[in-house]
Structure 1
Amino acid sequence: MPTPATVLLSAPAGWPDAIELRKLIASAGFAVADHSLGAAPAVDFAAVAVAVVATGARVEAAAAQTRRWRAELGDIVVPVLWLAPTSAVAAGLAAGADAVLTDSADAGTLFAQLRAMARTQANASRVAVRAAEARLLGDQLKKALTQLDREQEMARRVQATFLPKSFPQVCGARFHVCYRARHRTGGDFHEVRRLDENHVGFFVGELVGSGASTGGLLGVFVQQSAVLKEITGHSYRIVPPEEVLTTVNRQLVGLGADDVPLVAMLSGVLNAKTGAVTLARAGSPPPVHLPANGSATVWTVPGPFLGTADTTYQPLTGVLKPGDRLLIGTDGTRPDGAPGPGAADRLLDAVTRHRAATGSEFVDAVARELLQHLHHADDFTLLGVEMLP
């Protein structure tokens, strides 16, 4: 059987009707706890569903006690019912009573009022429990977010150590980059490595849909999986870009995880002596070629995202003549940041407008124009390859 709700009955000491009132309340199914009206010790309201104050002739003492109770209870909901003369109704409500029944009220009205107040107190207690649970959940969420911030910061620091601080200068080839990490854990990555006295390998990539610490750490995984040069004994082999992408793709597919984000990446090898360049692309925006004399064009290189399925990638070959430049960007260079092939109209326009600039000034000028039109918070990477005249 459920435990009956407790009614605290506060009546003047020696009040002749106290015993009968106690029996009446108990007959309605309530447990009754006695209290002497005006008693100084604080009341433990933990088990009290309703407090009944029978004022008798001590209306002022009842009002003072009710005000004190309200101050002690604070936000705790315990309904207070006054049983008082008709002349004391206003005083009871002013002191903090939730309802006042006069001496003329019958037993049925008293019972109905007590049950209604008990329901109110029970509902308020349930709400208070839910509020406490919500506060606890909020505290746990704050701790989880704090931990997530720490993990993101650690991932950012780890990723930053793998980004190149400077680029090699090989023959007449120069490399410049504009990189902006636009949220806590960057999803973009890039690399330029000297492979021998004439060749330079490079790649630009990003994680599509990455979050938390996943983006930075998986970016490091991809960078470490991108082998541009194989060394065997005293010999070496420069790995073709299409093979680089195929290997990285197999590594990602081999992780076997359901929530691994897609990876877009462009890999290339440049013969800095002859200008011969080979590119392979996986889902990233197409590069833009700006010849020393002539209009900028898009070099279309087909290829699906990395990590989707076991597949191969096709190479594109070309030649960068003295004075030529090649710009390679991530999805963050687009106004909407949309992944996939897409168009490169804005990049083409910016390249054309700033073609008079050279070196890092050229890449920075193009980047500044593109950054003005972005409507997203994705990372921004723009790598420039330049063959000196």
Structure 2
Amino acid sequence: MNLRLPPIYAITPGTARGGEEVVEMAARLFEAGIRVLQVREKQLPDRDLLRTVEGADLLAREFGATVIVDDRVDVARIAALGVHLGGNDLPSRIARELLPADAPVGVSTHDLAAARAAFSDASCDYVAFGPVFESSTKPGRPPRGVEALAQVAREKTKPLVAVGGITEESLDPVFDAGADSAAIVGALAQGGFLTRNARRLLDHARRRDPPGRVYLVGFMGSGKTAIGRRISERLRFPFVDLDSEIERTSGLTVRALFEALGEPAFRERESAFLDGTEALPAAVVSTGGGSFVSERNRAAIARLGLPVFLDIPFDAVRERLVEKGDRPLFTSVEQAARLFAERAPFYKMAPVRVALTGRESIEESTDKVLSAVYDRRELGGPRLES
């Protein structure tokens, strides 16, 4: 198995009073963008544990996420899921024979010799090493430290997960040491702010691996500017609003430019500004509602970065258009509906589509867009090089 782990590997805290609590936690984590979740709830009775991992897996499938069972090969086999094995569990060779071929098998190691053995074990898909720092989940086990992690990383031949006491503040040292993924337990649930903590951890990891240039396309009122600005704030790279830049440099509003020059001349200006974004190694660009309709602009965007279509129902757009009424091509709801239908086939040419209802908060919409962009990369999609 050619496994690619995302940078944040979530683990449940092992304190759930029932399976419903774990499934609810899984839902919130997947919505925030977590894509690997290890269910580590040793206190649950066997039947409850099986229901729990099956419920979490049902949710995971909606998000393209992976659920891994801690220790229990029997439960993993029944649920057709992957398993993470400790030193006292079944050997990975036996687990591999019992589980589906696409179910990942991971093993815990605590020293270089054990890590070397795991790297050379064909039945193991990834290796965890730790505890790197002091950890409440491994009481009495001395921390190995970042230097030991780096020594293990130099010999890795498969994905390496750092585990043990990792927080947002220690993510950089862990990744700098060579870990591919950081297992997080306590830092996720800290203060009871599960979703917020997951966002912060994911954003920190994503800032280390900028997505190149991302171009948000879609109809007027779909949220391109608001979402683009929030992505910029969270990942700390530039935000460009094409319409605003055109207005700033021309001294005229988009509506005035349309009236004075006509749409073809406006699109020429738009194309020039799109070409100018090539100077930015990483950026999120909010395009105009008609930008992606132009064949020239579509080709430029595809060459420069990743087009992402914000797919929102017209009913939600209509409410926003009527409320603001300041869009350059908006004259009536009927006219907007016709334009929406005409442009939809062009928007659908974008390789990434994010379905929005219009009822999400800005943070929730931003989570969806960032997840779509990074999921595409982590699951083997082409990486966007600047």
Query: Is the helix fraction higher in 1 or 2?
Result: 2
If the length of structure 2 is used for normalisation, what is the TM-score? 0.22
Greater gyration radius: 1
Query: Is the strand fraction higher in 1 or 2?
Result: 1
If the length of structure 1 is used for normalisation, what is the TM-score? 0.22
